[in-house]
Amino acid sequence: MIIVTGGAGFIGSNIVQGLNARGITDILVVDDLTDGHKCLNLADADIRDYIDKDDFLRRVEANDDFGPVEAIFHEGACSSTTEWDGRFVMAVNYEYTKALLAWAVARKVPLLYASSASVYGMGPTFRESREFERPLNMYAYSKFLFDCHLRRFAAGIDSQVVGLRYFNVYGPREQHKGSMASVAYHFHNQLNDSGRLRLFEGADGYGPGEQQRDFIHVDDVVAVNLWLLDNPGVRGIFNVGTGRAQSFNEVAHAALSWHKGSAGGGGIDYIAFPEHLRGRYQSYTQADITALRQAGYEGEFMPVEIGVPRYLEWLALRD
């Protein structure tokens, strides 16, 4: 059996789909379905069972046995970067993951968990090393602190434990995230509503729409996770991005190009940069993927010119 926490969420449900594509259906999904809309992410998936995240944690802390477990993909978390209830975030992201780590290590079950590129704060260096880590919010701090926790004990762990610092992930099954969904998703809605896109004017020395992020399609994120499943000897903390920063304008033009081909028209409107974001906005991110390459991962990553149209086509089929 394979356990996927956050399995009804964005990345988790795509991992379930990736496992299904391999013919794997012996999957235990762990999640919180208070927002029942997330069930739609699993409506076309085949799984063995579902368990609520709190019930799962109680069983983990009670040292329960779930039977033979091949691996755990731990994608469950409070992922809101605007959540400032520190006790809540630390309980859900930090303490929960510590308990799961102890359970997995005791049984030598591989644990592949979601960290975040947010641990790097404003950058400008995005490399898996303590001197470049400057979290700016509770979400980032909770991820950063667990990575530090792992580093303290990594040398004494005999099984595979891998932290994946996801950069700006976009793609299918993120619609439930609302304002926290990717810019590509919001562009899709803007194109449907008005045929025009809205981007921030320049800030931090960047021109209008020229702020840059490392945008990675969720299919590429799944590919890295499944490669790690196939390579249990790989351990550590790794960036998961394309290794190439692209501007919001490039994402917008990729969306407009697809939209013109399917509906015609379109353009970009630049709006005032919000004052409350000045000095707290990542105007540039670019994953240093040297460590991932050195670990042996050779897969190619989609640029936005390929990934965004692919995603918009998926969305259009479901409108």
- Residues of the chain with pLDDT below 70 are 261-266, 279-280
| Contact (Cβ atoms closer than 8 angstroms) between residue 264 and residue 231 | no
pTM for the full model?
0.94
- Spell 238-262 as b/e; 16+ CB within 10 A means b: bbbbbbebbbbbbbbbbbbebbeee
Given the residues 50, 98, 177, 270, select the one marked as catalytic. Answer: 177
Given the residues 113, 139, 166, 170, select the one marked as catalytic. Answer: 139
Q: Residue 125 has what pLDDT?
A: 96
Q: Residue 164 has what pLDDT?
A: 98
| Contact (Cβ atoms closer than 8 angstroms) between residue 66 and residue 87 | no
Q: Residue 68 has what pLDDT?
A: 96
260 annotated among ligand-binding-site residues: no
Q: Which two tokens stand for residue 269?
A: 């409107």
11 annotated among ligand-binding-site residues: yes
161 annotated among ligand-binding-site residues: no
Q: Residue 278 has what pLDDT?
A: 72
Dihedral angle at the C-alpha atoms of 311, 195, 247, 304, nearest 10 degrees?
Answer: 20
Residues 6 or more apart whose Cβ sits within 8 Å of residue 24? 2
pLDDT tens for 123-179 read: 999 999 999 999 999 999 999 999 999 999 999 999 999 999 999 999 999 999 888
List beta partners, residue 4: 29, 73
pLDDT tens for 74-99 read: 999 988 887 899 999 999 999 999 99
Residue 286: count other Cβ atoms within 10 Å of its Cβ: 21
| Contact (Cβ atoms closer than 8 angstroms) between residue 138 and residue 118 | no
Say whether 269 sits in a helix, a strand or coil.
strand
Q: How far apart are CA 306 and CA 142, in angstroms?
A: 33
Q: Residue 180 has what pLDDT?
A: 85
201 annotated among ligand-binding-site residues: yes
Catalytic residue at 260?
A: no
| Contact (Cβ atoms closer than 8 angstroms) between residue 240 and residue 287 | yes
Q: Which two tokens stand for residue 66?
A: 């779930």
Give the CA diameter of the chain. Answer: 59
39 annotated among ligand-binding-site residues: no
Domains contained in the chain, CATH given = 2-170+216-242+283-302 (3.40.50.720), 175-211+246-282 (3.90.25.10)
First to last CA, the chain: 34
Which among 205, 280, 228, 281 is positioned nearest to 73, based on CA atoms?
A: 228
Q: Which two tokens stand for residue 38?
A: 């997330």
- The position carrying tokens 């520190």 is 86
- What's at 109, amino acid-wise? V
